[in-house]
Structure 1
Amino acid sequence: MDIRRSDLPLLISLDALLEELNVTRAARRLNLSQPAMSGQLARLRELFGDPLLVPAQGGRGMAPTRRALELKPRLNEALRLLHGAVLPSEGFDPAAARRTFVIAANDSVFTILGLPALARIMALGNPSLRVSFVGTSDDDLAARMERGEVDLFLGDQGKVPASLKARFLMSDGFEMAQRNGHPRGPRPASLDEYCSLSHVMVSQLGQSNSHIDELLAAVSRTRHVAVTVPSYNQVALVLANTDCVATLPTRLLMRYGAMLEILPAPIDVPPFRLSMAWHPLAQPDAGHQWLRALFVSVAALSGSAP
C-alpha cells in the first residue's frame, strides 16, 4: 500500500468503521451520509487490498477481517497522537475546562481518595468538568487507557500493569471493626476471640478466603467468614446490623466512625500501598497533569504523603 495515495479523512472514516462495525452508525458519528461512507469504505478496500469489513454471520452489522483487526489499534493510536499534536499548548484551567475524566477505582479507594478529590472538583463550580468513576475489574485496563477510555487508575500498587506509568500515593493499615454496642464490648480482641467471631469480607465471586486467612494459616489459625459482600461499603451496613466483625483499611473504616467501633487487629497485616497509574500517552496532557496533582495533594492531606 502506498500511503501517499490515501488521505486523512479516509483514515478517520476507517477508524470510525472499525469502532462501530456498522456503516450507518459510522456515517452518523462523522456527520456523513450513508452513501458517502459506503463510497469511502470502497476506496479503503481498494487502498488496502482487503475487504476490511464483511457481513456478520448473524446478519446484523459487519465483522472485521484479520487485516482490519491488525490495523485497528495502530490506527487508533496514530490518530490520538495526531490529535494531541495539533491541540493548543496552553495550560489547563479546571474552573473553565470542558472535559470528563474517567477514573478506575474500587469502592474502598473511591471512599478513601475519590470522595475528597470529588469534593474539590465540585467546589470549582464548573458544570462542564465532570468525573466518572468506573470499576477496576477489566483485564484490559492498559488497552482502555491507550484508547483514551480511562484516564487514571487508583488502586493496589501491585496491580498496576507494567506498561503504565505510576506513582505511589499513600499506605494504609488494617484494623478490626464492629458495631457500636457490640455484645463483646469495646475492648481489643485476642487472637483466640478474633478467630471465634463471625466475620464479613469483600469478595466479588463469593469466595470466603482472603489475604487475612493466609496470614492466619501461617500461624495455624482459621476464622469463621459468615458473610461475603461484593463491595467494601456494604461491609459497614452488615456490621451495623449484625454482630459480625471485619478487618479493613483504617481510612475506609474512619468514614464510618460514627456507627462503628474501630479496634486494633490481633494479627499483623501488612499495609495497603495505594498508587495511581496512567498511560504514557497521557503524560504531557495539561489536564491530566492537573488531575494527577490533585490526587497527590489529597493523598498527602490524608495523613500519609508519598
Structure 2
Amino acid sequence: MSVEKIVDAAIEIADSDGIQAVSMAAVAKRLGYTPMSLYRYVSSKDDLLLLMQEEATGLPPEPGEEDLGWRARLVELYEAQSQIYSRQSWLLSMPITGSPITPNSSAWLEADLEALRDTGLTEEEGIAVSLLVTGAARWKGLIAAGYEEQSRATGLDAAEVAAREQRLFDAVITEDGYPFLRKAIDAGVFASEFDPFDFGLERGLDGVEAFIEAIVNARAGAASDVANDGSSAATSVAAPDDATEAAAAGHAAIADDDPAVAADKKLREAQKAVRQAQKVLAEARKRERQVLREAKERVAKRR
C-alpha cells in the first residue's frame, strides 16, 4: 500500500466509470484492502481527488531547443492540454476552487507565462492570455467529453450519434424559426471536420499579436521618449553656467504661477507615486512566491 498505488487505482476507476464512481470504499475494494486502511495514507476523499488531479494533469511538455516563438509555443501547450482532457475527461468534472497552487497545475501556468516573457505584456495581460489558451483547451475537452459520455451511455458510435442529432435538427430547427442556424446545419457544419475550437484560439491569438504590435510597442516607444527627455534635461543641468543658474533662480520664483511648470511638478509627483506602487507590487509578488513554495512543500510532505 502506498499513496501512489491508491492514486493510480482511483484514476483507473475514474477512467473507466467516471469521477462519480470514485470513493474510498471503491478504491479500497480495487486494491483488496478495507476502506479504513486507506486513511493511513490519504486523509480524506478531497485530498485523494486533489492528488488524482495533480497526477493526471502532469507536467507541460518541455520547450524544444529551437525557439518556436511565443505563439507557436502557446499552441503547443494548448494541444497538449486538449489531449489530457481527451484522455481523462473526468478532470473536467473536478470543481475549480481557486487559483492553481499545486506543483503541476502551477507548472502549466508558468509555461504559458514563460512563452510570453519577451512580448512586453504586463503580468496581468500575460495571465489573461494564459486563461485564453487554457479556457479554449478546456472548452474543447468539455464538448468532446460530452459526446463520449453520450456514446457510452447509449452504446452508439460517433457516426450514429451524429445521425441522431441530424434527425433532431430536422425535426426542431426549422427555416421559419431559425433561418441562420438552419442554413448552417444544411451547410453541414456539425458534420464537418473543421475544428471551431482551434479556429477560435487562432483568432484570439491574432488579437493578442495585434495588441502586442500596436500597444506594447507604443509603450516601449513612449518609455524611450521619456528616457531621452530625461537625458536631455540631465545634460542641461549637469554643467550650468552663470546665466543658466540665474535663469533657474528666476524660474523658481515664478514656478507656482506658471501652469507649464506646475504640470511638470505634477508629472514628477505622479512618477514618484508609480515607483512607490511598483515597490509595493514587488514586495507582494515576493510574498506570493514564498506562499507558493510553502504550499508546494506541504503537498510534497503529504506524499
Q: TM-score range by the shorter chain?
A: under 0.3
The structure with the greater share of residues assigned to strand is 1
Which protein has greater RCO, CA pairs closer than 8 Å, 6+ apart? 1
Using the size of structure 2 for normalisation, the TM-score is 0.24
TM, length-normalised to structure 1: 0.24
